[in-house]
Chains A and B, each alone.
Chain A
Amino acid sequence: MSTSTGREIILKVEGLSANYGQITALRSISFEVAKGEVAVVLGANGAGKTTTLRAVCNMPVVSSTGKVTLGGEDVSKKDTADIVGRGVAHVPQGRGTFPELSVMDNLEVGAYVRKGSFSEDIDKYFEMFPRLAERRDQLAGSLSGGEQQMLAVARALMSRPEVLLLDEPSLGLAPLIIQDLFKTFGELNKTEGVTMLIVEQNANLALGIADHGYVLEAGEIVLQGRAEDLQNDSSIQDAYLGA
């Protein structure tokens, strides 16, 4: 399925609303992610970024309404495990590694939805992230924050996803490490063609590798457009780019 511009839409979210009990977290937001592109949702703390990703994967706690379409199929009512099985990999906020499992086991469990051998993928990510290769037998819990984020990303990619969701990957990391990380994301997108949906506060870095951007404020999308247009938008510069 493709739109008029010829982009193939992998993930389409329409009229998504979400509540935590009495608290409304999202008010009917819509956005889409096209194959091979990076979409970024920008927003401050509490804007609803994490909720957006959780609702896409139908994670618990959220009660959400709206339509989530994955490769043309409505998955709004599917279990998280089904959604993951259909090609969504989600790196949650706070990395979401398995601290009591070794680095190797973390990667193996990342391939849980796949059948057959996946050792070449492990080799590939060990090559991409040599730090992980050095620590393959260590428990994930003993890694540094940056290494854990690498592990979480590699773990997510092990499932060979159609779309990779990243929930504030920069959170709690040192600036230099964040820069490296986004460089890696950009390379993954360009060389491997990994489609990504990133929610971030760090607008500068995120827009730098993105094709499309959405700005989320208090549960509503207030602005959207091509990434380079957003980077030049004065209201964005004031609110997020600190210019």
Chain B
Amino acid sequence: MQLFLQRLFDGLTLGAIYAVVAVALVLIFKATTLINFAQGELAMFGAFIAYVLAVEQGLPILIAIALAMVISSVMGAVIERVLVRPFDPTDHLPVVLITLGVFLILNAVAGEIWNYQPRAFPSLFPKGPDDYVSIGGARLFYDGLGTWAMLALMMGALYVILNWTKTGLAFRAVSSNTESARLVGIRTGRTLMFGWALACAFGTLGASLVAPRLFLQPNMMATLLIFSFAAAALGGLDSLPGAVLGGIGIGLIQSLLVGYLGDWGPLEFLRNLSLAVAFVVILIVLSFKPSGLFGTSRVERV
């Protein structure tokens, strides 16, 4: 029981981090129906900005992360305006290549500015060896609780923005039918810019939550991004709740499924292959539900 709870808590915490980044991916996918390959690097860059503000400028970490979210949302908006908007939105290849380009550039620039030495990133939550509550003998660290709370907060904020504001309504309209959105007078370009800004802010939050565990360095997001892609695909690329559940699902697969399979001697090697196990599960799900667990299956009327 204790082991189960421990693995459950660990899985949920990992999953919450994947979920935050997956939500950022889904936001851009909803807006543009493409995967933003630069999402991870944008998030890493944002975490570095938070690091500079907190460690070098001495700001409290919470304020540093909030400011970094604002700065990265501006970065996201600028990238959309300058690099994405000039291209025909129905032709995905150029924009996908551009996001790959942004990925490489941001990685190199971060390496140039901050080098590739791993740095300790201050945690938002108490992270000492004794900072936990004990439940059934398992340790639920404050850091994990805090991560869940941030995910809940983020989803709450997103819900309010998307459902209760005019800009949110415009965003949902654009992602549902871009042409009709234009025909009700929505400036679709600006709305997409808003989507990018929002996604970059949340990406930065995700990177700042994971940085204390992974150490901060320019390549930190590589693995996280793949798990988050997987989470988004599992949940359905255009579903925000799907991204959250997909993230948590991947976290639980990694922690529970791989954990228990790995307990059995012949399968111990799986512990090092949790990513592969996660992908096998996704493959199975997607072969039955190609649009993911909660994604919209597109039906064309003929």
- Report whether B184 and A110 are in contact in the complex, using a CB–CB cutoff of 8 Å: yes
- Report whether B180 and A101 are in contact in the complex, using a CB–CB cutoff of 8 Å: no
Q: Which residues of B contact A (CB under 8 A)?
A: 166, 169-170, 172-173, 175-177, 179-187, 296
CB distance from B235 to the nearest CB of A (A): 16
Across-interface contacts of A92 in B (CB, < 8 A):
179-180, 183
Across-interface contacts of A85 in B (CB, < 8 A):
185
- Report whether B179 and A109 are in contact in the complex, using a CB–CB cutoff of 8 Å: no
Evaluate whether A59 and B186 lie within 8 angstroms (CB atoms) in the complex, with A100-B296, A112-B170 already known: no
- Report whether B175 and A100 are in contact in the complex, using a CB–CB cutoff of 8 Å: yes
CB distance from A155 to the nearest CB of B (A): 7
Q: Which residues of A contact B (CB under 8 A)?
A: 57, 59, 79-81, 84-85, 89-90, 92, 96-101, 105, 108-110, 112-113, 155, 159
Residue of B nearest to A172 (CB): B301
Across-interface contacts of A96 in B (CB, < 8 A):
177, 179-180, 183
Evaluate whether A108 and B169 lie within 8 angstroms (CB atoms) in the complex, with A96-B177, A99-B177, A100-B175 already known: yes
Given A80-B185, A84-B185, A113-B185, 13 new contacts (CB under 8 A): A59-B182, A81-B186, A85-B185, A98-B173, A98-B176, A98-B180, A100-B175, A100-B176, A101-B176, A105-B172, A108-B169, A112-B184, A155-B184
- Report whether B186 and A112 are in contact in the complex, using a CB–CB cutoff of 8 Å: yes
* 11 chain-A/chain-B pairs, Cβ below 8 angstroms: A84-B182, A84-B184, A84-B185, A92-B183, A96-B183, A97-B177, A97-B180, A101-B173, A110-B184, A112-B185, A159-B185
Complex Cα–Cα for A100 and B172 (A)? 8
- Report whether A109 and B183 are in contact in the complex, using a CB–CB cutoff of 8 Å: no
Complex Cα–Cα for A150 and B175 (A)? 22
CB distance from A121 to the nearest CB of B (A): 14
- Closest 8 interchain pairs by CB? A84-B185, A113-B185, A96-B180, A98-B176, A100-B176, A109-B173, A80-B182, A90-B183
CB distance from A165 to the nearest CB of B (A): 9
Q: Choose from A99, A100, A109 the contact partner of B184 (Cβ within 8 Å).
A: A109
CB distance from A100 to the nearest CB of B (A): 4
Complex Cα–Cα for A154 and B112 (A)? 56
- Report whether A81 and B166 are in contact in the complex, using a CB–CB cutoff of 8 Å: no
Across-interface contacts of B182 in A (CB, < 8 A):
59, 80-81, 84
Across-interface contacts of A99 in B (CB, < 8 A):
176-177
Across-interface contacts of B186 in A (CB, < 8 A):
81, 109, 112
Complex Cα–Cα for A155 and B181 (A)? 11
Across-interface contacts of B176 in A (CB, < 8 A):
98-101
CB distance from B184 to the nearest CB of A (A): 5
Complex Cα–Cα for A113 and B181 (A)? 11
CB distance from A174 to the nearest CB of B (A): 15
Residue of B nearest to A145 (CB): B301
CB distance from B105 to the nearest CB of A (A): 29
- Report whether A159 and B173 are in contact in the complex, using a CB–CB cutoff of 8 Å: no
Complex Cα–Cα for A16 and B68 (A)? 50
Residue of A nearest to B172 (CB): A101
Across-interface contacts of B181 in A (CB, < 8 A):
98, 109
- Report whether A113 and B184 are in contact in the complex, using a CB–CB cutoff of 8 Å: yes
Across-interface contacts of B169 in A (CB, < 8 A):
105, 108-109, 112
CB distance from B23 to the nearest CB of A (A): 17
Complex Cα–Cα for A89 and B185 (A)? 9
Across-interface contacts of A80 in B (CB, < 8 A):
182-183, 185
Evaluate whether A84 and B180 lie within 8 angstroms (CB atoms) in the complex, with A100-B172, A109-B170, A112-B166 already known: no
Which has the most chain A C-beta neighbours within 10 Å: B166, B173, B186?
B173
CB distance from B207 to the nearest CB of A (A): 29
